[in-house]
Structure 1
């Protein structure tokens, strides 16, 4: 197995996949923990981290929710929910 160094973007994408798997599997507690961790990273991280959480993680989760017609936006913590609403508003949905 090759030793691959994952970029911050790849890590955020993988983290989003883990969150989506938890949602699809009905493991809401795990999904809430993932979203809570993303919220902490968004609030306390560097500007790069905040950008990645917004543009990769939140975008991936919100796109997933929209495609599957999920109504789980109430799971989003405060700051992530604001980012989610910004993305929905910007897309014209």
Structure 2
């Protein structure tokens, strides 16, 4: 079971890297496609999948976009944007 969990996290990390590479290369169409897939996983996936998308994928991509001063509002679908806002609010004191 532990291997399965590690694989899910690694898959989410790889998926985030693919999304970030698309953004870096200016392939916004591909980046939006990746974000759309992540949104679908967030909506229809198991609780474990939803947690991984939220905690690994959204965190990784949103941090990357903030560091590069990208406008998250234009790219993130509604569900991912909601998860992003939850993360920001959770870290604010």
TM-score range for the pair, normalised by the shorter chain length: 0.7 to 0.9
Please state how far the C-alpha of 1:45 moved relative to its aligned partner.
0.3
Greater shift in the superposed pair: 61-70 or 21-30: 61-70
Number of aligned residue pairs: 89
Q: TM-score, normalised by structure 1?
A: 0.88
Unpaired segments of 5 or more residues in structure 2?
A: none
Q: TM-score, normalised by structure 2?
A: 0.88
When the two chains are superposed, the root-mean-square deviation of aligned CA atoms in Å is 1.7
Aligned-partner Cα distance in 2 for 1:73–1:7: 30
Task: State the match for 1:58 in structure 2.
Answer: 58
Task: State the match for 2:68 in structure 1.
Answer: 68
Deviations 1:10-29 (A, max 9, x none): 00000000000000111000
Aligned-partner Cα distance in 2 for 1:25–1:85: 26
More helix by percentage:
2
Aligned-partner Cα distance in 1 for 2:64–2:79: 19
Unpaired segments of 5 or more residues in structure 1?
A: none
Aligned-partner Cα distance in 2 for 1:7–1:13: 10
Greater shift in the superposed pair: 71-80 or 47-56: 71-80
Task: State the match for 2:86 in structure 1.
Answer: 86
- 1:1-93 matches, within 5 Å, as 7-92=7-92
Secondary structure of the residue aligned to 2:82 is: helix
